[in-house]
Copies of this chain bind each other. A is one copy, B any other.
Amino acid sequence: MSDYAKLSPKQLRALMRNGHYTQPTAGLALGYAQANLVILKQELAFDFLLFCQRNAQACPVLEVLEPGCFEAKFLAPGSDLRTDLPRYRVFRDGVLMSEPLDITALWRGDFVSFLLGCSFSFEAALVEQSLEVRHISEGRNVPMYVTNIPCREAGVFSGPLVVSMRPFAARDVAKAVQITGRYRAVHGAPVHIGDPAALGIKDIARPDMGEAVTVHAGELPVFWACGCTPQAVVMQSKPDLVITHAPGHMFVTDLRDKDLETIGGMV
């Protein structure tokens, strides 16, 4: 991972475009924002954008592309959303059908692409302030859980909140809250601290997406709203065709994380 960490977002996207990098992106291009991807048909675009507005902590919109457009002109000029992520997920009628490395063959002229903020953006800030981010130090994908908290509905879209989890020592939890609270454009402060059962999580060692990480004695699991929420919502709402990034396999943008500290909820 360490060699890749030194590459620029543009270099990384080129590797992904050619299928040479197909792994999770945590820890890559530290200092640059990564984004969740949701692609759906234009007829669903208003409902989904409204869903994002109503669930902004889980779905902070960084960029929405014009129908048919696959270049993220604001976040990454010259990019191609059909090829520049390491791995995608294709959902048909709410069922995960495949996890391709490229979606060029599936592209349609009426697709609208949404790029949502990702918690990886505040991880650089946590690390800078001497907090260990467990899944980075263990070289794993961040653990994610489907909770029992319903999102606010919008049109055809409804479903549960998905959270990501990072464990911190009791003395460091407040620091983690304060640091991430400054990043409102990328999920902001945690939604829950401690007891996983209160979120309906049965076994912290068995995440619904991503990979488990070690939680040491004396540490609390800290939960942030997660940009994989739309995937759980798609599974429940069952639109005929939706494409997303594969969990942890994000779109690496040219936007600096630092810029997200001042731009509030949205660009």
Q: A residues touching B (Cβ–Cβ < 8 Å)? A: 42, 45-46, 49-50, 53-54, 56-57, 60-61, 64, 66, 155, 184-185, 188, 264-267
Contact = CB atoms under 8 A, between A and B. Distances in A.
A56 B46 CA distance: 17
Given A49-B49, A50-B64, A188 B264 contact: yes
A161 to B, nearest CB: 15
A226 to B, nearest CB: 16
Q: How many copies does the complex hold?
A: 2
A234 to B, nearest CB: 19
A42 B45 CA distance: 12
Contacts of A56: 264-267
23 contacts: A42-B46, A46-B46, A46-B49, A49-B50, A49-B53, A50-B64, A53-B61, A53-B64, A53-B266, A53-B267, A54-B64, A54-B267, A56-B264, A56-B265, A56-B267, A60-B265, A66-B155, A184-B264, A184-B265, A185-B265, A264-B264, A264-B265, A266-B266
**Residue among A46, A50, A66 with the most chain B CB within 10 A?**
A46
A178 to B, nearest CB: 13
A267 B53 CA distance: 7
Contacts of A60: 265
Contacts of A50: 49, 64
Nearest to A265: B265
Nearest to A66: B155
Nearest to A155: B66
Contacts of A42: 46
A40 to B, nearest CB: 12
Given A49-B49, A265-B265, 6 more contacts: A46-B46, A49-B53, A50-B64, A53-B64, A56-B265, A56-B266
Contacts of A57: 264
Nearest to A50: B64
A66 B42 CA distance: 18
A224 to B, nearest CB: 14
A188 B265 CA distance: 11
